[in-house]
Structure formats: C-alpha cells, structure tokens
Amino acid sequence: MTKIIGLTGGIGSGKTTIGNYFRSLGIPVYVADEEGRKLTDSAEMLAQIKTHFGEAVFLDGKLNRKQLSEIVFNNPEQLKILNGIIHPAVKKHFAQWIESVKEKPFVVRESAILFESGRYMDCDFIITVTAPEEQRIARVMKRDNLSAEAVSDRIKNQMSDEERISKSDFVIQNTNIQDAEKQAAKILKNLSNRQKTV
C-alpha cells in the first residue's frame, strides 16, 4: 500500500528543493499549495471567493491574489473562510491524484500548512525542513523581491519550527543543498527498510 510522506517547513526553509529531489528519484510529489492556487482559478471556487470577499479581490475580472492575501494575512476569521473554500477542494483533488499513483511505494505531499490544515493526519510519516532564520530571510528576499521586514513578518505568522519538529518523524537541516539531499536520501532508505520489514 502506498505510504504518504508529508513534507513541510516554513517559508524559505527549502522544502520545495527537497520535494524536487524526491521527484528526481521517481517519487510522485503533490504540491498542495500549488494545486490550491490552480484550483482557485476554477469557476466554482472563484464564485465562492466572490461571494465571501466581494469584487474588491478581483481586478479586470481576474482574482487579485495580492489583495486577497492582504485581507487574510492578519485576519484569522477571513483566513478561516478562505481555507474553508480551498482546503476541501484540495483534499478531493489529492484523493483523485493518489488513485493515479497508487502503484508507487511512496508519494510525497508537500505543504507549507500541513499541520494547520489538518492534512498531516493523512500522512504515514512527516518530514520537516528547517534552516536558520537569517538564511530563510535571505532566500525569500532574493526569490520574491521582498524586504527583510516583510519576510520576517511572514515567518512570525507561521507555525514555529519547534512546533513543527515536535510533530514530525524526521527533520532535514537545510543549510546547503548537498547535505540536505544526503539527509533526504538517508530518510528514504530508512523508510524503504521499514517497508521491507512490514
């Protein structure tokens, strides 16, 4: 039976890099955040977003993601409404996706909010990717062209590494890619050996 490996980490931790490494080994990777973005482009989802958030989050008939993010960023109630629209759709989509890869021994579900969304409960094992905060800030500044303050605010609004680690089976310290990939390979070997002994 296919085992689901949950892969998570804070902004700038490098979880996507680790996800790409697993993909390079032939392991299917479901990027929940990416799929959620795609799903919000469907007519059904856009209608729900318009009902709850109004025309203010639309620009020339298209969803203005930046405006929507600003509304929910510091407003837990609004964020809860948005998650209530997106999470059920992603859950349904993931169930369909996993049917298409069920012959694989492992699949990876990558998500920044694996714990917050409750989807960690669907995973057999969980890996948290971490990195020093200064390094995370530098990575995101470069990637998203944001100020250090803006990145720091995002980090503060996310679950702490300590909390993620306490709920995880494995941790990858991602200070440089070569070491991080070695750690990922070691975890995969460990999981493969467990599968053989079951």
Domains, in order of start, for the chain: 1-28+105-188 (3.40.50.300), 36-100 (3.40.50.300)
* CA 3 vs CA 73, 83, 123, 125: distances in Å: 33, 26, 8, 8
Res 143: pLDDT? 93
Confidence of residue 174 (pLDDT cuts 50, 70, 90): very high
Confidence of residue 195 (pLDDT cuts 50, 70, 90): confident
- DSSP 3-state of 74: coil
Confidence of residue 197 (pLDDT cuts 50, 70, 90): low
Kindly report, residue by residue over 83-133, the tens digit of the pLDDT: 999 999 999 999 999 999 999 999 999 999 999 989 999 999 999 999 999
Can you read off the two tokens belonging to residue 73?
């960023």
Q: Where are the alpha helices (DSSP H) in the chain?
A: 15-24, 32-39, 43-53, 65-73, 76-100, 133-144, 148-156, 161-166, 177-197
- The pTM score is 0.91
